[in-house]
């Protein structure tokens, strides 16, 4: 099937829009990675999206593996989600009061996610992680938190901290505007390095409130945990009186219907969720042990609130997504198709003798131009980012849209059927060959 190209008359569409945007929006975007700085070329402006296909304002038809950065488990504009939003819209856009659907979504999350006994719905993943850390500090009476190099937990001040040299170090601000005194409350270790975590606990006895971890790194590229890593985090936090927070904003309902915790058999104290839970609309959540969640106001004294939390349109989209995925056995199907895609890419890279490492879990996947294995962010940063840049451009020329960064995970949806996966493997194999030649 030919890949539609922009016409000469429409080629300036995205450029003109970007120029207009840059006059009224920082960098012309509302989230930095949309600016395509890592891969060059013009940012994408979208006209519409349906199923597995995203259409740009120039008329490009792109098979989408970004999927709004993860939420669209069923694909774009799924009929069940669209219908649920329309039905909710007929009853109003926002109430500012409780409604039945938010109770139903909380019940469904508690049923599906092993460690979650109670849930608080919020509006974003960032909001969820902020609240979870506040709760952990209140529950333990401690101030320090420990995160991992390359782990992204939203843009709150406490999380915008990069690792220094050595196995574990006090953080330094990774963004202007983050006070150094606040950054010093965040410790950083390499992902998959349980020894560094152990040493950090020994250096800071009775001071660490929580360890927060993406069970699979997704904003450093796709990096899976070693089999013993998550169980050891559970043991260490328990031994030192700290809480374990799984940030499953990305992995929740992606790597397994019960999240990465179900896949690993590890129960964290608190879990944060987002993306899929909103079916493409803004929803986040945090939940966990009943005794901890009962500390949240108004049941307890830890304050957290949100005017639009539990928004009826967003809750309708999330409920429709999760219910449809369960009813139609979507989780098993997308898992199989994701593995087919990743194996096809591995085979193509082997035939071209390219340094290439790829992996997947459920419908979440990723790759690096690196011989592998990749265990942490430092190894990911050693990959060939210039080769990725060429590959990304070649893939788009062939009608396949990947995240415009070598350090972002990719996703498959229920709309990516067998023929689409086969077509993608063929096109990306050709893109690999083209990137190698340039």
Structure confidence at residue 12 (pLDDT)? 59
Does residue 343 form part of some domain? no
CA distance linking residue 285 with residue 291, whole number of Å: 17
Answer yes or no: is pLDDT of 207 > 80. yes
Domains identified in the chain, total number: 1
- Selected catalytic residue, list 149, 193, 247, 335: 247
The region of weakest confidence among 167-181, 200-214, 288-302 is 167-181
Structure confidence at residue 166 (pLDDT)? 31
CATH of the domain at 288: 3.40.640.10
Structure confidence at residue 46 (pLDDT)? 97
The whole-number average pLDDT for the span 368-374 is 96
Structure confidence at residue 125 (pLDDT)? 95
Does residue 78 form part of some domain? no
Structure confidence at residue 7 (pLDDT)? 43
Structure confidence at residue 6 (pLDDT)? 45
Query: Dihedral of the CA atoms 55, 59, 60, 65 (nearest 10)?
Result: 0
The pLDDT-based confidence of 90 (bands split at 50, 70, 90) is very high
Does residue 47 form part of some domain? no
Answer yes or no: is pLDDT of 203 > 90. yes
* Residue 247 bears catalytic tag: yes
Bigger pLDDT: 295 or 31? 295
Does residue 300 form part of some domain? yes
Structure confidence at residue 23 (pLDDT)? 95
The whole-number average pLDDT for the span 287-293 is 98
* Residue 152 bears catalytic tag: yes
Q: First and final CA of the chain: distance in angstroms?
A: 25
Does residue 304 form part of some domain? yes
State which residues form the domain around 109: 97-327
- Selected catalytic residue, list 64, 65, 149, 275: 275
Answer yes or no: is pLDDT of 332 > 90. yes
- When the pLDDT of each residue in the chain is averaged and rounded to a whole number, the result is 93
Answer yes or no: is pLDDT of 217 > 90. yes
For residue 104, CA distances in Å to 13, 100, 140, 267, 320 come to 43, 6, 31, 23, 11
- Selected catalytic residue, list 152, 269, 286, 335: 152
Does residue 397 form part of some domain? no
Instruction: Supply the pTM of this predicted model.
Output: 0.94
The whole-number average pLDDT for the span 132-161 is 92
Answer yes or no: is pLDDT of 170 > 80. no
300-317: burial string, b at 16+ Cβ within 10 Å, e else: eebebeeebbbbbbbbbb
The pLDDT-based confidence of 156 (bands split at 50, 70, 90) is confident
* Residue 381 bears catalytic tag: no
The pLDDT-based confidence of 179 (bands split at 50, 70, 90) is confident
- The secondary structure element, H or E, covering residue 331 is helix 330-351
Does residue 294 form part of some domain? yes
Does residue 124 form part of some domain? yes
Nearest of 279, 287, 276, 225 to residue 252 by alpha carbon: 276
The whole-number average pLDDT for the span 115-130 is 97
The sign one gets for the Cα dihedral 432, 356, 258, 100 is negative
The region of weakest confidence among 4-18, 135-149, 371-385, 419-433 is 4-18
Structure confidence at residue 173 (pLDDT)? 53
Nearest of 253, 248, 255 to residue 285 by alpha carbon: 248
**Number of neighbouring beta carbons within 10 Å of residue 96:** 9
The pLDDT-based confidence of 287 (bands split at 50, 70, 90) is very high
Bigger pLDDT: 392 or 5? 392
Structure confidence at residue 162 (pLDDT)? 52
């Amino acid at each position: 099937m030919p890949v539609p190209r922009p016409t000469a008359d429409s080629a300036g569409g995205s450029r003109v829009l970007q120029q207009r945007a840059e006059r009224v929006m920082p960098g012309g975007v509302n989230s930095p990675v949309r600016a395509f700085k890592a891969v060059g070329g013009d940012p994408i402006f979208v006209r519409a999206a349906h199923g597995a296909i995203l259409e740009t304002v120039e008329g490009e038809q792109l098979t989408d593996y970004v999927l709004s950065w993860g939420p669209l488990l069923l694909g774009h504009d799924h009929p069940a989600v669209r219908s649920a939003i329309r039905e909710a819209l007929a009853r109003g856009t926002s109430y500012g009061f409780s409604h039945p659907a938010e109770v139903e979504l909380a019940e469904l999350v508690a049923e599906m996610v092993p460690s979650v006994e109670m849930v608080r719905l919020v509006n974003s993943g960032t909001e969820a992680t902020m609240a979870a850390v506040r709760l952990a500090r209140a529950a333990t009476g401690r101030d320090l938190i420990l995160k991992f190099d390359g782990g992204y937990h939203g843009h709150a001040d406490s999380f915008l901290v990069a690792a220094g040299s050595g196995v574990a170090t006090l953080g330094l601000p990774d963004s202007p505007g983050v006070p150094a005194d606040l950054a010093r409350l965040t410790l950083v270790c390499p992902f998959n390095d349980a020894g560094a975590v152990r040493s950090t606990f020994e250096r800071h006895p009775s001071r660490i409130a929580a360890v927060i971890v993406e069970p699979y790194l997704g904003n450093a590229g796709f990096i899976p945990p070693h089999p013993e890593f998550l169980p050891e985090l559970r043991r260490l936090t328990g031994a030192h009186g700290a809480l374990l927070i799984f940030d499953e904003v990305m992995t929740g309902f992606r790597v397994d219907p019960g999240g990465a915790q179900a896949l690993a058999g590890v129960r964290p104290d608190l879990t944060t969720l987002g993306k899929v839970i909103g079916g493409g609309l803004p929803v986040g959540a945090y939940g966990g042990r009943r005794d901890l969640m009962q500390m949240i106001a108004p049941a307890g004294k830890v304050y957290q609130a949100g005017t639009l939390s539990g928004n009826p349109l967003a809750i309708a989209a999330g409920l429709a997504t999760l219910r449809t995925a369960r009813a139609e056995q979507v989780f098993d199907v997308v898992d199989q198709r994701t593995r087919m895609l990743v194996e096809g890419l591995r085979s193509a890279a082997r035939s071209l003798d390219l340094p290439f490492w790829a992996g997947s879990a459920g419908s979440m996947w990723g790759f690096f131009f690196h011989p592998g294995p990749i265990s942490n962010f430092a190894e990911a940063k050693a990959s060939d980012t210039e080769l990725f840049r060429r590959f990304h451009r070649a893939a788009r020329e062939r009608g396949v849209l990947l995240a415009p960064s070598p350090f972002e995970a990719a996703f498959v949806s229920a709309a990516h059927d067998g023929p689409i996966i086969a077509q993608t493997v063929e096109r990306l194999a050709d893109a690999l060959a083209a990137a190698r030649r340039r």
